[in-house]
């Protein structure tokens, strides 16, 4: 464990287990889908998307979208910026599954879902590695949740603080959270 991390909240082993479980659910729910497209939300959901996609034994297409709300802060700014949109000409023929690292206020995913509906997708569901339901500010429930976590700022496995700690293989609570 690196010195900046006070406590591991979700270990590598737990992450593998929850990926196995969610991949099975997705495989079952989408077995009759004509075209399933996973949307990896950059940058945070890259590791989770990579783990999930190799466990789902269905033909899958992959897309990337990029949004930001945090920056160098541990609380969301409330303003969501769309930096990379989805460009396809088969939106009404495909079922989209948005893969996110964590749901906090719920603003990012509820905005994205609304945005994708407006673009005319056939269907859209959401999948998140972590969920902090106690922080919700808008009425939003993800379709697939890896693990519910308490209201701590967490890093690792894609999650960053000011671009640091994304590459850790586990999710942990940094020291500074306890020093405040």
Which residue numbers are catalytic?
Answer: 104
Cα separation, 83 vs 68, in Å, equals 8
Task: Single out the residue of 44, 146, 156, 174 in contact with Mg ion (rule: CB under 5 A).
Answer: 44
Task: Single out the residue of 96, 97, 98, 105 in contact with ligand IMP (rule: CB under 6 A).
Answer: 105
Cα separation, 45 vs 102, in Å, equals 8
Q: Where are the beta strands (DSSP E) in the chain?
A: 5-10, 36-42, 60-68, 81-84, 95-103, 123-131, 144-148, 171-174
Choose the stretch contacting ligand IMP; rule: CB under 6 A; options: 12-20, 27-35, 85-93, 147-155. Answer: 147-155
100 binds ligand IMP (CB under 6 A): yes
Which neighbouring-strand residues pair with 98?
A: 39, 126
Task: Single out the residue of 23, 39, 48, 107 in contact with ligand IMP (rule: CB under 6 A).
Answer: 107
Closest C-alpha among 170, 145, 175, 143 to residue 159? 170
Residue 8: CB minimum distance to ligand IMP, A: 14
Site string (49-88) toward ligand IMP, x via CB under 6 A: --------------------xx-----x------------
């Amino acid at each position: 464990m690196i010195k900046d991390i006070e406590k591991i909240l979700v270990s590598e082993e737990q992450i593998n287990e929850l990926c196995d479980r969610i991949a099975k659910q997705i495989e079952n729910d989408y077995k009759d889908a004509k075209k399933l497209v996973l949307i990896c939300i950059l940058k945070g959901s890259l590791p989770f998307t990579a783990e999930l996609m190799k466990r789902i034994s269905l033909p899958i297409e992959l897309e990337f979208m990029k949004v930001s709300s945090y920056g160098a802060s541990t609380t969301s700014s409330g303003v969501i910026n769309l930096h990379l949109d989805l460009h396809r000409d088969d939106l009404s023929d495909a079922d989209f599954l948005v893969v996110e690292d964590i749901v906090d206020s719920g603003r990012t995913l509820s905005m994205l879902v609304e945005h994708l509906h407006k673009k005319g997708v056939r269907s859209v569901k959401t999948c998140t590695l972590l969920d902090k339901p106690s922080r919700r500010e808008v009425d939003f429930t993800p379709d697939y949740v890896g693990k519910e976590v308490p209201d701590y700022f967490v890093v690792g496995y894609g999650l960053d603080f000011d671009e640091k700690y994304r590459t850790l293989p586990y999710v942990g609570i940094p020291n500074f959270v306890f020093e405040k």
